[in-house]
Structure 1
Amino acid sequence: MGVFVKKLNALEPPVHPFELIWVRMVMTWAVCIAYMTAASVPDPVLGPKGVRLLLTLRGVSGFIGLFGTYYALQYLSLSDTTVLSFLTPMCTAVTGALLLKEEITAKQMMASLFSFAGVILIARPAFLFGQHVQDTQGGEGDPARTVTASQRLGAVGVALFGVIGLTSAYTTVRAIGKRAHALHNLSAFSSFCVVTAPIAMLITRTKFVIPDNVHQLLLILGVSVCGYGAQVAMTTGLQRETAGRGTMAIYVQVIFSLIFEKLFFNTTPPVLSLVGTAIILSSAIYVAVSDLTLFRRHFDLRLTFRLSS
């Protein structure tokens, strides 16, 4: 999705984030309502009565998080935007422990810290690594324009504001749990975006760009399809797993970020990026093995207790 957004930003005229949000979410909302209606899911539009306030919060926070990501992709490289969004798993683990009373282990915290350190090595953002990082995004194949220091700083600030939105969204999804269908979460998110994005475009006097060629239309459809698939998978996963462990899976994005930057923007990852990737993969495997060992011990204890009884 990030690749498609960056490609659309490079077109003339560029497609504004508000328009991308609106187009993507119109399609998402239609699919959600159609599926839930066909599957006879109760209250497909408003959701179950007991969680409607939480669903509203899910929509508001999701819009903030999505706008932060789309806006940052206008001025930051794919890897820089990724490293900022990866603040979300650690923040979500903390909010899940504080607000939802979920368990957070020292191993998970250590793995998160090591993973984030790996992401920093991969992205090497200029605001941390100094002026030797070029302002131009990617290699020769990157269509994005060169940005100024003030534009980059502003994009970082908006991206961090988006992290707050994403953290709230993930925590809210976990708080809702299985009291609502996974598509109720996505429907609330998309409906708020469908209403809010056009209002924001009117206030900011943003021009709506109508696709005039197949290439542009396919890119917009790609944003919608990838975004929908990611949201369904994320929501379904967070309904079945704690917020901290569930969002650890987000770190897999860094692998795709490296591959896609090479394929689409001709960017060759340096040694530090490879080291960061190794750290992230090692941390993810460590958490997975630790959780599996803990589960086996818990299962063995329950089995022993039942046999002895």
Structure 2
Amino acid sequence: MALTSDYALLPSESDAHNDSALDSTKRNTGKLASFQFQLSGLYNRNIGLLSIVASQVFLALVNVAVKQLNVIDPPVPTFELILIRMAITYLFSVTYMKFMGVDSPFLGPKGVRLLLMFRGFVGFFGIFGIYFALKYLSLSDATVLTFLAPLCTSITGALFLGEYVGRKEIFAGVFSLVGVIFIARPTSLFGHSHIPIINGTVLLGNSTGVPLVSEALVNLTSLSNDTLINISNSTLSMLPPSVTPTKRLIAVGVSLLGVMGATGAYTTIRAIGTRAHALHSMAAYSSISVVVSAIGLIATHTPIVIPTSPIWLLLLLEIGVFGFCAQIFLTLGLQRETASRGTLAIYTLIVFTSLLDRIFFHAVPSLLSIMGTVIIVGSALYVAVTKQNQNESEPSKGNVNARRSAAGGHGVEQEILLKNMEEGGREPAIA
């Protein structure tokens, strides 16, 4: 009996197999749990970065829609584009504030209403600058010029808000002007040496910038200086034939006016501080832009273009909806991301615009445009990153200021989302 009992205590072959399967299941479950944990950690560490990148994708798509509407026949006027975009933004902003119970959603808090009005007025010129520039500049060239805003803001902050501006900011600002010149390419400096001559001919493009090989070979001797078209020496893609060097210079000039508008808006936002909600600034910006653009349409006797194609109507809606989505994603990202990583994510905008420029408009930048882009983006990154390093001893204030500088390169709408980021680590209160 004892022998029988002893044998009964020994594990059977079946039991050993079951135990092995159980151990294998536990190991697999452990590996899966570990993988899920690592994936969750990766997501949590980078959700801010991904949100900012998503905002740049939306902004790039907005600019594509604007440029597409600029090349249809007849093109949608710049004032009309701004009116539609800002009307949608105003509707979303006020609706959100009413839903969340924010005080004074229409006029803003007392004591800062004049500042909000001024912020909206100068902000209009910020968006007008890039929308007008998209008529005559490539998507990437028009976008990269907006990266001058943080450099200009450093100067206005020193002049009007008593903020410190060092030699690095001044050096970067002066160096960026070289990049602007490379993008503008004034004929007084460059002549027509950047226009390739292929057997005495130059290739023109149609209204969308697509080369017309069969019918657009024009002898250079038949063209005046004002009608020569800028064509990359390494590519045969370009802007429409109506874009003369003079119009290109005008576009760059208006774009720089837009940079000044964005700088003024950003400086005003800094002056307002936490006395108003971030969406008060958004609502003021959008409402005044609607009024100014409507006045512009009337004063210039510009007829409103009614979309005759469902695609055109979708593009108009895209400008408003995607623009607001970009602002929301930017806010979510800045709430979760460090300044240095946020800066790098924001500057992915130039990558997306260059890619979309190639896909939708068959544009490949010339060597001078690439050099100008590298100079401007490099200067802006240099200022943002070095400022972050200088402020590491003051984590809360430093991160706020660095993130402000990072967002300064994308015109007005991104900066308004950073208004509430003051000492003490307050983040933009939108979502």
TM-score (ref. length: structure 1): 0.78
Shift of 1:234: 7.5
Say whether 1:88 aligns with 2:149.
yes
Question: In structure 2, how many angstroms separate the alpha carbons of the residues matched to 1:248 and 1:101?
Answer: 27
Q: Aligned equivalents of 1:235 and 1:176: distance in 2?
A: 18
Which residue pairs with 2:289 in the alignment?
193
- The residue correspondences of 1:118-197 to structure 2 (distance < 5 A) are 123=183, 125-126=185-186, 129-133=190-194, 135=229, 144-197=240-293
Matched position secondary structure for 1:195: helix
Q: Do residues 220 (structure 1) and 316 (structure 2) align? A: yes
Aligned pairs for 1:29-44 (under 5 A) are 29-44=90-105
Secondary structure of 1:49's aligned partner: coil
Query: Alpha-carbon deviation of 1:166?
Result: 1.8
> Partners of 1:261 and 1:25 in 2: how far apart?
24
* Aligned residue type for 1:132: S
1:73 aligns with 2:134: yes
- Whether the 8 Å CA contact 1:64–1:162 is kept in 2: the answer is yes
Superposition RMSD in Å = 3.5
Preserved contact between residue 142 and residue 264 of structure 1 (Cα < 8 Å): no
| Aligned: 1:11 with 2:72 | yes
Question: How do 1:272-291 and structure 2 match up within 5 A?
Answer: 286-287=382-383, 290-291=386-387
CA distance in 1, matches of 2:146, 2:252: 10
Q: How many residues align structurally? A: 292
Cα distance change on mapping 1:282 and 1:71 into 2, 3 Å: closer
Structure 1 residues 257, 227: closer, same or farther in 2, change over 3 A?
Answer: same
- Within 1, Cα distance between the matches of 2:334 and 2:166? 18
What is the CA-CA distance between 1:88 and the residue it aligns to?
A: 2.4
Q: Mark the structure with the bigger radius of gyration.
A: 2
Q: Check conservation: 1:76, 1:152, Cα contact below 8 A.
A: yes
1:68-110 CA distance string (max 9 Å, x none): 2212221222233234433322221100111111222334444
Range with bigger deviation, 166-175 or 258-267:
258-267
Task: Judge which range, 251-260 or 93-102, deviates more.
Answer: 251-260
Q: In 2, distance between residues paired with 1:137 and 1:220?
A: 30
Residue 147 of structure 1: CA displacement? 1.5
Rounded Cα–Cα distance in structure 2 between residues aligned with 1:15 and 1:103? 43
Asked if residue 98 in structure 1 is aligned to residue 159 in structure 2, the reply is: yes
Contact between 2:138 and 2:363, CA under 8 Å: does it hold in 1?
no
Q: Which amino acid aligns with 1:199?
A: I
Tell me the secondary structure at the aligned position of residue 19 of structure 1: helix
Percent of residue pairs identical: 48
Structure 1: gaps spanning 5 or more residues: 240-245, 300-309
Could you say if the C-alpha distance between residues 144 and 230 of structure 1 is closer, same or farther in structure 2, counting changes exceeding 3 Å?
Answer: farther
Counterpart-to-counterpart distance in 2, 1:269 and 1:254: 12
Q: Is the 8 A contact 1:141 1:264 kept in 2?
A: no
Corresponding letter in the other structure for 1:56: M
TM-superposed deviation, 1:7: 0.8
* Alignment partners' CA distance in 2, 1:289 and 1:159: 25
One-letter code aligned to 1:23: I
Shift in Å, 1:211: 1.5
Q: Which moved more, 1:93-102 or 1:193-202?
A: 193-202
CA contact (8 A) 1:62 1:166 kept: yes
2:84 matched residue in structure 1: 23
> 2: distance between equivalents of 1:212 and 1:92?
41
User: Do the aligned residues in 1 keep the contact of 2:86 with 2:289 (CA within 8 Å)?
Assistant: yes
For residues 137 and 373 of structure 2, the distance between their equivalents in structure 1, rounded to whole angstroms, comes to 20
Instruction: Note if 1:262 corresponds to 2:358.
Output: yes
Counterpart contact for 2:94–2:105, Cα < 8 Å: yes
Sort the Cα spacing of 1:165 and 1:279 in 2 relative to 1 into closer, same or farther, 3 A. Answer: closer
Contact in 2 for aligned 1:92/1:171 (Cα 8 Å) = yes
Higher helix share: 1
CA contact (8 A) 2:147 2:376 kept: no
User: 1:210 and 2:306 equivalent?
Assistant: yes
* Residue 176 (structure 1) shift: 1.3
Could you tell me which residue of structure 2 aligns to residue 302 of structure 1? none
- Equivalent residues of 1:182, 1:232 under 8 A apart: no
Residue in structure 1 matched with residue 217 of structure 2 by the alignment: none
* Stretch moving more, 75-84 or 42-51: 75-84
Contact 1:186 1:231 in 2 (8 A): no
1:257 deviates by: 3.1
CA distance in 1, matches of 2:239, 2:113: 42
Aligned counterparts of 2:298 and 2:343: Cα–Cα separation in 1 = 35
Q: Give the conservation status (yes or no) of the 8 Å contact 2:145–2:376.
A: no
- Partner AA of 1:50 in structure 2: G
By how many angstroms is 1:247 displaced?
A: 9.4
- Structure scoring higher RCO (CA < 8 A, sep ≥ 6) equals 1
